[in-house]
Structure 1
Amino acid sequence: MSMCQQDVEKVLQQNGKRITRQRKILLDVILNGKWECCKEIYYEAVKRDPSIGMATVYRMMATLEEIGVLERRSVFRMKDDVQHC
């Protein structure tokens, strides 16, 4: 089964997470890039919304890992069945 941003948002909601503007931006950034670290995600996200903090990125990555959308290896990688719609 392939998941897109909308599917990830639904899973977040099912797990009691609000879908904020910042979370939408972070999901878009994460799904549309190949990132080596959270800092790279932060640098891209802050271009779109300067109010996004580094801690927000780390929390989002932890949340995505917690709900099973993302897995941590030596770097974060989106699971193979998650894609941008």
Structure 2
Amino acid sequence: MTTTIIDRCEQHGLRMTDQRRTIAQVLQEADDHPDVEEVFNRASARDPRISIATVYRTVKLFEESGILEKVEFGDGRARYESADRDHHDHLIDLNSGKVIEFVDDEIEALQVRIAAKLGYRLKGHRLELYGVPLKK
């Protein structure tokens, strides 16, 4: 990441209140894909004055500004990650809900070849794999 979420908010001209800064810091530090309730739990632990409504409004503003990307993994929860992250795909553990990020050059090349074979130039994609751990 070249800039922080706070930097990108400021570049977009968003007014950064103390509460928005706290929410942005929580999102910046997340190494998972938190939903709004998890962002609220983390942010309100730092600043008890932050309400769930403030988190909802702030996350929506960040998403609409192109700062955050919403991802949904079929569990009914919208989760968020920074929109400027390098491309990656996701493997979702159906038992634990854990989301594993990965990049695989073979998969990337295969997708380009498939698009070309069908007469298209690939402009982007999103790949989500759902699985359960192998028994060992």
- Under a length normalisation based on structure 1, what TM-score does the superposition of the two structures give? 0.79
- CA distance in structure 1 between the partners assigned to 2:21 and 2:12 by the alignment: 11
Instruction: Select the structure with the greater relative contact order (CA < 8 A; seq sep ≥ 6).
Output: 1
CA distances 1:42-82 after superposition (whole Å, capped 9, x unpaired): 0010011111000111111111111111111202121206x
3-state DSSP class of the match of 2:69? strand
Aligned to 1:47: 45
Q: Which consecutive aligned stretches of 4+ in structure 1 deviate over 6 angstroms post-superposition?
A: none
- Under a length normalisation based on structure 2, what TM-score does the superposition of the two structures give? 0.52
- CA distance in structure 1 between the partners assigned to 2:5 and 2:71 by the alignment: 22
- Residue type matched to 2:17 in 1? T
3-state DSSP class of the match of 1:64? helix
More helix by share: 1
1:56 partnered with 2:60: no
Q: Percent identity?
A: 31
- Residue type matched to 1:23 in 2? R
Unaligned residue ranges in structure 2 (runs of 5+): 73-78, 87-136
CA distance 1:56–1:12, change in 2 (3 Å): farther
1:76 partnered with 2:80: yes
More strand by share: 2
Higher Cα Rg: structure 1 or 2? 2
How many aligned positions are there? 78
- Residue type matched to 2:26 in 1? V
Unaligned residue ranges in structure 1 (runs of 5+): none
- CA distance in structure 2 between the partners assigned to 1:61 and 1:47 by the alignment: 17
